[in-house]
Structure 1
Amino acid sequence: MKAARYYDRGDIRIEDIPEPQVEPGTVGIDVAYCGICGTDLHEYLDGPIFVPPAGHPHPISGESAPVTLGHEMSGVVYAVGAGVTDLAPGDHVVVEPYIVRDDVDTSEANMAYHLSPDMNFIGLAGRGGGLAEKIVVQRRWVHPIGPDIPLDEAALIEPLSVGYHAYRRSGAQRGDLALVTGAGPIGLLTAAVLTAEGVTVAISEPSALRREKALETGVAAHVFDPREVDVVAEVRALTGGVGADVAFECTSVQPALDTLFEAVKPRGVIVVVSIWGHPGSLDMQKLVLKEVDLRGTIGYVNSHPDTIRLVQEGKVDLKPFITGRIGLDHLVDEGFDTLIHRNETAVKILVDPRL
């Protein structure tokens, strides 16, 4: 089968590899679509980060580069292994793409399994990936979505779950004002969750296309171009001079983080959602003198069921965020190159591994 294989920074190859084997307790999935994630771009530009470098196998997967990429996937079950009784061939599913040790409790009782030692991600540290025709994963990571969510839209449930977990980490309440820096896929989908939960959203984004996307989808009530207006002054005007209740950093760009420290109210919460491929800096005086609560967030934890329900109930419409569909052979030239060099022209590009 065809698969996108990550060898090293700037080196991704489309290769033929053996199909994975369905084992007891696992589910075989024909991949329908896989999104290109900002994390994939970081690996391509700055990595390896999550990908174990060649010769340095990951302690759980036992794999190192080259690995198959892709973790934002949807698909159709084609086979189930022995012991799997609640899924069947033909079911539409998405994958929660974690790699954790087998003895880690991933039930609702454990809200920190995503922070367990040596945690990593399917499609980054091995165990297959969504940028391939097929994947086999443990049953516990497979979430049925029903027949009514289109499979292309379902590929965005993984990044939407990132936004949902960030929302929960923030403690935002209905009626709060949230400032989001960056209207890329994660920023827009975080805004979509916030809006669905009754939070008023303002977005700061230099790309005209992405600002338009935020407005036309209704995920933001206010949209600012940071090159044209004083975002901090605009937020203060919206809040009677107080500042944003919560803020979400979705760019991995230093000026965006700096803006949030100015724009958030005293004792406000800033959640850093983006993956930084380089060190950032922090003005400790602003953190201290405003008693700002700075929180990190990674991935999701028991988030997929609630996120899927938001889509099933029509509270989040994922279709408008899909701005391109390509085949595996054009992953780099039409996918990565577009998102790296012309990201103002696209939001989420999906890959159909069978094109």
Structure 2
Amino acid sequence: MKAARFYGPGDIRIDEIPEPAVRPGTVKVEVQWCGICGTDLHEYLEGPIFAPPAGAPHPLTGETVPVTLGHEFAGVVAELGQGVAGLAVGDRVVVEPYIVCGRCDACQQGRYNVCATLGFVGLSGFGGGFSRYVVAEQRWIHPLGDLGTDVGALVEPLAVAYHAVRLSGARAGHTGLVFGAGPIGLVTTAALRAAGVEQVIVVEPAGVRKTKAATAGADHVIDPTEADTVGSVMELTQGRGADVSFECAGIDAVLASAIRSTRAGGTCVNVAIWGHQASVAMNDLVFREVSLVGSLAYANDHPATIRMIADGLVDPHQFITGRIELDDIVSAGFDELINNKEENVKILVRP
């Protein structure tokens, strides 16, 4: 079968590789759609980062580059391994793309998203969504019901947002504040709206993304190049600040604004993966007892995220800005997202 494999910076190739074989307790999924994630872009531009480099195999997969990319994928069940029950060939499903040890303290707590040897299908080995077939353990297979597999490919990024919103404690009557209207900022905005948050404010300077933020559910969009962000948030919240805020940019100045815009006793959630050591003004946290929380991916959030979509609380179609074939993944996918990042949110690939 054909697969898009990552070899190194700027080097993704369409290779012919063997189809994976089903094993006891596993499910073979025929991938119908797989989204290109910002993490994939970072690998393409600067990697290997999450992908295990040559000479340093991943401790759970034993693999190194080249690896098949793609971790935001959905498809149909093609084959069931011995002992698998509750699924049938042809079922539409999404794969939660984790590779975890199950033994470390984090896994024992149920926080498998921060496993000591965490890996991801589509980054660390065991195949990936930019290929026709993926085999995964049944625990990672989530039925989509009547939802389409194109929507299914949006479950993974929406689960990231659902997890962050859940950790924040956001609820009806709260004000939510999102810094950055890139793909993760937009799905976080939508997840806040789905959670019943009363007022959603987004901070974003780019014109196209400001429009997308409003479509995703923002009541107010602040352009930090035109207005004082903290002052504007205070004005919109009668001087209190936001109950919950979300840093989705990975920029020191943005984190500082997020903390200062959060009300006393509120929660600031860092969702971004940082490319450098962050600088934090600790007194901004201490003097108003603001909680700063890290949020990584998701854990036990896929079923609730699927229900959120099925109940019509979020429209995933708004985030799909392109559909391409596997052979075009570099020119019409990766390069398009890099060169026209403001116009695009999620490009789906049909492998």
When the two structures are superposed, what TM-score results if normalisation uses the length of structure 1?
Answer: 0.94
How far apart in 1 are the matches of 2:275 and 2:241? Answer: 29
Structure 2 residue aligned with 1:139? 138
**Structure 1, unaligned stretches of length 5 or more?**
none
- State which of 290, 299, 302 in structure 2 corresponds to 1:301: 299
The offset of 1:115, in angstroms, is 2.1
Q: Is the 8 A contact 1:180 1:247 kept in 2?
A: yes
Deviation per residue, 1:127-160 (Å, 9 max, x gap) = 11111111111111000011x2121111000110
Contact 2:323 2:347 in 1 (8 A): yes
- Counterpart of 1:49? 49
1:245 — aligned with what? Answer: 243
Tell me by how many angstroms 1:342 deviates. 1.7
Shift of 1:228: 1.9
Partner of residue 116, structure 1: 115
Secondary structure of residue in 2 paired with 1:75: strand
Mapped partners of 1:274, 1:331: distance in 2: 25
Q: Distance in 1 between matches of 2:114 and 2:346?
A: 27
Deviation at 1:210? 1.9
RMSD: 1.8
Aligned 8 A contact 2:74 2:150 in 1 = yes
- Calculate the TM-score normalised by the size of structure 2: 0.95
Q: 1:281 aligns with which of 279, 282, 287?
A: 279
Deviation at 1:295, TM superposition (A): 0.8
Gaps of 5+ in 2: none
Residue in structure 2 matched with residue 212 of structure 1 by the alignment: 211
Equivalent-residue separation in structure 2 for 1:77 and 1:4 (angstroms): 21
How far residue 104 of structure 1 moved from its aligned partner, in angstroms, is 7.2
* 2:338 is equivalent to residue 340 of structure 1: yes
Cα displacement string for residues 163-199 of structure 1 (whole angstroms, at most 9, x for unaligned residues) = 0110111111211111101112211111111111111
| Amino acid aligned to 2:51 | V
- Equivalent in the alignment of 1:179: 177
Kept in 2: contact 1:105–1:113 (CA 8 A)? no
Aligned pair count reads: 350
User: Are 1:70 and 2:70 matched, yes or no?
Assistant: yes
Could you tell me whether the CA contact under 8 Å between 1:39 and 1:275 is conserved in 2?
Answer: no
Please tell me the residue identity of whatever aligns with 1:17: I
Distance in 1 (alpha carbons) for counterparts of 2:101 and 2:142? 19
What CA distance in whole angstroms lies between the structure 2 residues aligned with 1:249 and 1:92? 33
* Secondary structure at 2:342 match in 1: helix
**CA shift at 1:232, angstroms?**
1.5
2: CA distance, partners of 1:306 / 1:140: 15
Q: Distance in 1 between matches of 2:277 and 2:79?
A: 44
Please tell me the residue identity of whatever aligns with 1:20: P
**2:25 is equivalent to residue 31 of structure 1:** no
Question: Residue 132 and residue 331 in structure 1: after superposition, are their counterparts in 2 closer, same or farther (change >3 A)?
Answer: same
User: Which residue type is aligned with residue 89 of structure 1?
Assistant: V
Aligned to 1:319: 317
8 Å CA contact retained: 2:106, 2:114: no
**Partners in 1 of 2:230 and 2:261 — Cα distance?**
5
Query: 1:251-290 residue pairs with structure 2 within 5 A?
Result: 251-290=249-288
CA gap 1:327/1:104 in 2 versus in 1, 3 angstroms? farther
Deviations 1:56-94 (A, max 9, x none): 111111111111111000101110111112111100000
Contact preservation (8 Å) 1:114, 1:300: yes
Secondary structure at 1:255 match in 2? helix
Residues 81 and 335 (structure 1 numbering): CA distance in 2 closer, same or farther, change over 3 Å? same
Percentage of identical aligned residues: 54
After TM superposition, list the pairs within 5 Å mapping 1:159-178 onto structure 2. 159-178=157-176
Note if contact 2:53-2:65 (Cα within 8 Å) is conserved in structure 1: yes
Q: Secondary structure at the match of 1:7?
A: strand
Task: Name 1:195's counterpart in structure 2.
Answer: 193
Q: Which runs of 4+ in 1 moved over 6 A?
A: 104-107
* Aligned counterparts of 2:337 and 2:7: Cα–Cα separation in 1: 20
Change in 2 beyond 3 A, CA 1:129/1:215: same
Structure 1 position 17, deviation (Å): 0.9
Distance 2:4 2:278 in 1: 31
